[in-house]
């Protein structure tokens, strides 16, 4: 912790130096760069480059005016500096004028560089810069926040790669479902009416089919109706009553995997219902979202909603659906080899010959359900000797991808990626498979070749109609759409239900970059609800707050974001989006109050 504290204090010092040490060097007799500017005023990454225009005027006012002025443009950091251009100056009667558009290939170091204009007189003193002006600090690289599987030191390791399944299990064994138990107004007593009985039957069937329960989250919700009370007690009692009912029904709920929560004075659930509500126009719905996202307190927003046309109808239809306990379950089916088959497999792996009487599907199933990567690697490696099939090559490549995720050593990562690429090439010679193409695309993403990766993922989507595969593949394509600058198309990729916190953030990021801040805010909030320790949703909400001029809210959301991630902490220190916030003393107070500092 002390090392991290030193590191962060050092970064704050660097930032202060970065912010205060970049001013213009003004010559005593004149400021020849005073009228220079860059458009747009903040540089932004788009697709694979930075595009901007630099223009200015050097007045010819007296004998002191330069006779042969030189103006050049530079990208500068403490470690490196590159000269982008020497301007051609056009002399008129009263001034030298210059203007030029630029499209600069983006490199990672430019994110924290300054764009400087240098001026020299071009006289006997030589061409050394006699005046400098900072035109822009840093580069807005918001599209590069898209989550594509990259690993950061203090964040959970993202899952990457798709095994070719045996046909007996889904691509991703873990399945998620939400079930809702409705309550009478003001009550926490479960009424086994037809709707609730159906929900409980579906829940029981889901658990029967997926007996390995990963997590259960029960959230009691209450509506704004006066009959629902004036405290959060009712929502909590609804969640507890639902928990007790599930236990009495014989559903095993372990304390380690079960969370009981409640929501009160929170419009999140109403916003979800509004999204699919079709009794008001899109224009009217936008008016509702304007109120729900304006940052006012709950009661103020309720009063504002009451004044909107059609609210009586909306509340009559939707408020009863807020008297609810939501049961969100993640679980997976059980499968694998029986005891006799497992013993035969073990004998072969320990040096016995043949395939132990097991066919390709048996071996594949054994590999798929082995929990340890080392065991999977051993099984798939042996399978490449026993069977002429793309499956073991592809699946061993996925193991190498996952092993690469577990190391921060760049050389080790690249060796594992190279091995995975070779294995996938072998698999591709045996079979044309969307899984192979998906995995090849994932490696290309890690290697920074986004355009080639996009082609692989696009080809993968063409080859299958498997909805689960398509959701995973299209979500990754959507993340690449963000990086490639096609924000509207990206929003269409994230349309499936059951998105995790990462993809909900990507969805919000696509809407944010498309300037659809209402949907962006909703998706960022959904990301936060799905996983609060995944701080990117908070960072997205902070960006929206800056867009709407709410600096105080931006700093609150930033504090939550940087408490979860060192990467987001570093990002907040240099991101031009928060330049105005960093000018406030409260910004550094926020960093000192952050318990992670």
In this prediction, residues 395-419 reach a mean pLDDT of 95
Q: What's the Cα-to-Cα distance from 479 to each of 141, 154, 496, rounded to whole Å? A: 14, 22, 14
Within this chain, domains 21-140 and 175-332 share the same CATH topology: no
- The strand ranges marked E within 353-399 are none
Query: 324-332 and 131-137: which strand pairing?
Result: unpaired
CA dihedral 351, 357, 359, 360 (to 10 degrees): 0
258-263 vs 212-221, strand pairing mode: parallel
Instruction: Estimate to the nearest angstrom the gap between the alpha carbon of 20 and the chain centroid.
Output: 32
Q: What is the pLDDT of residues 264-319, one digit of tens each?
A: 888 888 888 888 888 888 888 888 888 888 888 888 988 998 888 888 888 888 98
| The pLDDT value given to residue 8 | 45
What per-residue confidence (pLDDT) applies to 18?
47
With CA atoms as reference, report the closest residue to 398 among 365, 428, 444, 442: 442
What is the per-residue pLDDT for 1? Answer: 35
> So what's the pLDDT on residue 87?
86
- Check residue 30 and give its pLDDT: 53
Q: Say which DSSP state 140 is in.
A: B
Cβ contacts of residue 355 below 8 Å, gap of 6+? 348, 363, 386, 387
Residue 122 pLDDT greater than 80, yes or no: no
Who wins on pLDDT, 260 or 69? 260
Q: Identify the residue with better confidence: 295 or 418.
A: 418
What's the mean pLDDT in 199-205? 91
Q: What pLDDT is attached to residue 129?
A: 65
Specify the pLDDT at position 336: 58
Q: Is the peptide bond before 40 cis (omega within 30 degrees of 0)?
A: yes
Average pLDDT for 539-567: 92
Quote the pLDDT of residue 281: 87
Tell me what pLDDT residue 545 has: 95
**CA–CA separation, 147 vs 133, rounded Å?**
36
pLDDT for residue 182:
94
Is the model's pLDDT at 11 over the cut of 60? Answer: no
What integer pLDDT is reported at residue 166 of this predicted model?
74
* CA distance linking residue 423 with residue 427, whole number of Å: 6
**CATH code reported for the domain at 175-332:** 3.30.1330.60
Distance from the Cα of residue 501 to its chain's centroid: 8
Nearest to 452 by CA among 408, 484, 496, 426: 484
What is the Cα–Cα distance from 488 to 507, expressed in whole angstroms?
10
Mean pLDDT across 477-496: 92
Report the distance separating Cα 267 and Cα 322, nearest Å.
10
Residue 542 predicted with pLDDT over 80: yes
Cα separation, 277 vs 193, whole angstroms: 24
Q: What CATH number belongs to 21-140? A: 2.60.40.10
Instruction: Give the mean model confidence (pLDDT) for residues 462-482.
Output: 93
Q: Return d(Cα 446, Cα 17) in angstroms, integer.
A: 33
> DSSP secondary-structure letter at 304?
H
Q: What is the pLDDT of residue 61?
A: 66
User: Quick one: pLDDT band at residue 591, thresholds 50, 70, 90?
Assistant: low
Please check whether residue 199 is in contact with residue 180, taking contact to mean a CB–CB distance below 8 angstroms.
yes
Q: What is the pLDDT of residue 411?
A: 95
Where residue 410 falls among pLDDT bands split at 50, 70, 90? very high
pLDDT at 430: 95
| Enclosing H/E stretch for 476 | helix 467-484
Segments making up each domain of the chain, as ranges: 21-140, 175-332
Confidence at residue 93, expressed as pLDDT on a 0 to 100 scale: 76
Judged by DSSP in three states, 42 sits in coil
Higher pLDDT, 509 or 292: 509
* pLDDT tens column, 218-252: 999 999 888 888 887 899 999 999 999 998 888 87
Kindly state the average pLDDT of the residues 158-174: 72
10 compared with 557, residue with greater pLDDT: 557
Q: What is the three-class DSSP state of 155? A: coil
Closest CA to 440 of 382, 432, 563, 20: 432
Q: What is the residue-averaged pLDDT of the chain?
A: 85
Between residues 371 and 84, the one the model is more confident about: 84
Q: Is 327 or 60 the better-scoring residue by pLDDT?
A: 327
320-351 core/surface letters (b: 16 or more CB in 10 A; e: else) = eebbbbbbbbbbbeeeebeeebeebbeebeee
Task: With beta carbons less than 8 A apart as the criterion, state whether 137 and 22 touch.
Answer: yes
Enumerate the H helices of 178-308 as residue ranges: 194-209, 233-248, 268-275, 282-292, 298-306
Residue 198 pLDDT more than 90?
yes
């Amino acid at each position: 912790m002390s090392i991290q504290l030193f590191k962060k204090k050092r970064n704050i010092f660097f930032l202060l130096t970065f912010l205060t040490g970049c001013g213009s060097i003004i010559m005593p007799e004149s400021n020849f760069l005073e009228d220079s500017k860059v458009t747009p005023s903040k540089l932004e990454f788009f697709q694979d480059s930075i595009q901007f225009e630099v223009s200015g005027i050097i007045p010819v006012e007296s004998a002191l005016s330069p006779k042969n002025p030189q103006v050049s443009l530079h990208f500068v950091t403490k470690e490196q500096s590159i000269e982008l251009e020497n301007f051609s100056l056009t002399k008129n009667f009263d001034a030298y004028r210059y203007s030029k558009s630029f499209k600069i290939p983006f490199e990672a170091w430019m994110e924290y560089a300054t764009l400087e204009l240098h001026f020299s007189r071009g006289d006997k003193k030589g061409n050394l810069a006699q005046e400098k002006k900072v035109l822009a600090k840093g580069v807005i690289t918001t599209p590069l926040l898209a989550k594509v599987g990259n690993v950061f030191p203090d964040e959970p390791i993202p899952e990457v790669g798709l095994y070719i399944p045996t046909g007996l299990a889904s691509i991703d064994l873990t399945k998620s479902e939400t079930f809702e138990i409705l309550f009478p107004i003001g009550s926490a007593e479960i009424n086994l009416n037809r709707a609730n009985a159906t929900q409980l039957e579906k829940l029981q069937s889901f658990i029967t089919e997926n007996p390995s329960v990963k997590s259960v989250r029960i959230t009691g919700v209450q509506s704004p109706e006066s009959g629902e009370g004036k405290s959060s007690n009712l929502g909590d009692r609804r969640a507890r009553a639902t928990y007790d009912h599930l236990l009495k029904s014989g559903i095993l709920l372990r304390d380690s995997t079960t969370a009981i929560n409640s929501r009160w004075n929170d419009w999140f659930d109403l916003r979800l219902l509004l999204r699919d509500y079709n009794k008001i126009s899109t224009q009217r719905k936008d008016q509702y979202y304007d109120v729900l996202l304006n940052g006012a307190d709950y009661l103020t927003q309720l009063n504002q909603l009451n004044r909107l046309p059609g609210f009586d109808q909306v509340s009559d239809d939707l408020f009863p659906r807020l008297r609810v306990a939501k049961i969100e379950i993640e679980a997976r089916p059980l499968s694998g080899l029986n005891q006799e088959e497992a013993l035969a497999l073990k004998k072969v792996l320990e040096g016995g010959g043949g395939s132990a009487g097991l066919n390709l599907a048996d071996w594949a199933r054994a590999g798929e359900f082995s929990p340890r990567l080392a065991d999977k690697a051993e099984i798939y490696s042996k399978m490449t000797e026993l069977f002429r099939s793309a499956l073991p090559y592809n699946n061993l490549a996925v193991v190498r991808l996952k092993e690469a995720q577990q190391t921060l050593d760049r050389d080790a990562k690249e060796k594992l990626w190279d091995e995975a690429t070779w294995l996938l090439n072998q698999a591709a010679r045996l079979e044309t498979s969307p899984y192979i193409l998906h995995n090849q695309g994932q490696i290309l993403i890690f290697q920074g070749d986004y355009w080639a990766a996009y082609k692989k993922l696009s080809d993968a989507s063409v080859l299958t109609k498997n909805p689960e595969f398509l959701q995973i593949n299209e979500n990754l394509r959507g993340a690449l759409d963000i990086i490639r600058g096609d924000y509207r198309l990206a929003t269409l990729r994230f349309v499936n239900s059951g998105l995790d916190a990462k993809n909900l953030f990507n969805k919000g990021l696509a809407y944010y970059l498309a300037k659809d801040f209402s949907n962006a805010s909703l998706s960022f909030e959904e990301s936060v609800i799905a996983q609060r320790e995944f701080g990117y949703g908070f960072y997205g909400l902070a960006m929206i707050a800056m867009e709407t001029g709410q600096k105080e809210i931006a700093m609150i959301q930033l504090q939550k974001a940087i408490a979860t991630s060192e990467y987001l902490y570093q990002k907040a220190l240099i991101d031009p989006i928060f330049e105005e916030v960093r000018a406030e003393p409260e910004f550094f107070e926020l960093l000192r109050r952050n318990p992670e500092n």
